[in-house]
Amino acid sequence: MIVNTAAYHFVPLSDADALNAVLLERAKTQELRGTILVAGEGINLFLAGSREGIDAFYAALKADPRFADMRVKYSYSQMQPFARLKAKLKTEIISFRRDDGQPLDFPRAPSVAPATVQRWLQQGHDDEGKRVVMLDTRNEQEFAHGTFEGALTLPIGKFTDLPAALEPHREGLADATVVSFCTGGIRCEKAALWMQNDGMHNVLQLEGGILGYFEEVGGQGYDGRCFVFDERVALDAELKPLVDRDESQVA
């Protein structure tokens, strides 16, 4: 069984280059595959391997006080979904290129727990009686595999396209509680922060993204699967992959 993980954490890093090298070496030692992204604003990880290797890697990482409270999301597969291990030093761990959407420069935008969103979707409004609009901050390739029922999706090819694509919808969202979401939380964290700073004070971010929602409450209110950028293609509400093959059984 392969343990798949997704994790990110925004924290100032003055040693990004050195940390990138350390994390790469640790992942190699534990025979993990996937992607390590490091920038001055934090880290973004997609790693898969044995239970022992994953546990050892994250135990060492969380021993660093800067990452002690980082949330790691887990799923499981028969196949290793990554072909190799790579580590990159980046300007941003998720590229947005908006000065008003940088988590290290502003207080975090308000978030909402999966269980609360599930309840709002069931009752058709938030706790104040306002309609709820789920705002998908992912691209067209991703939401083609699935999204929240009735979600506002935007015709974007990359995350940096989001501000311009959202512009025509802003007036129509003024009377709603808007919940921004993405795969694991990193994009909706930047998006919600930017929207708050740009005058949209009715926006929340879904804590943990779609994967966190699946993990905590299942798939109620979600239609389809969640696209992931690896060979599993997409995960269902039970975090099971669309494509899964035990490579040891292949002749």
**Mind telling me the catalytic residues?**
182
124: alpha, beta or left? (left if phi > 0; alpha if psi -120 to 50): left
Specify the DSSP element, H or E, that contains 147.
Answer: strand 146-148
How far the first Cα of the chain sits from its last, in Å, is 18
Strands (E), 27-127: 33-39, 42-49, 72-77, 85-89, 111-112
Asked whether 117 and 209 are in contact (CB, 8 A), the reply is no
CA angle 155, 185, 33 (to 5 degrees): 100
The token duo for 227 is: 């696209």
* Residues 6+ positions from 121 with CB-CB distance below 8 Å: 132, 134, 148, 149, 220, 221
* Residues 6+ positions from 42 with CB-CB distance below 8 Å: 8, 9, 10, 11, 13, 93, 103, 104
* Residues 6+ positions from 118 with CB-CB distance below 8 Å: 213, 217, 220, 221
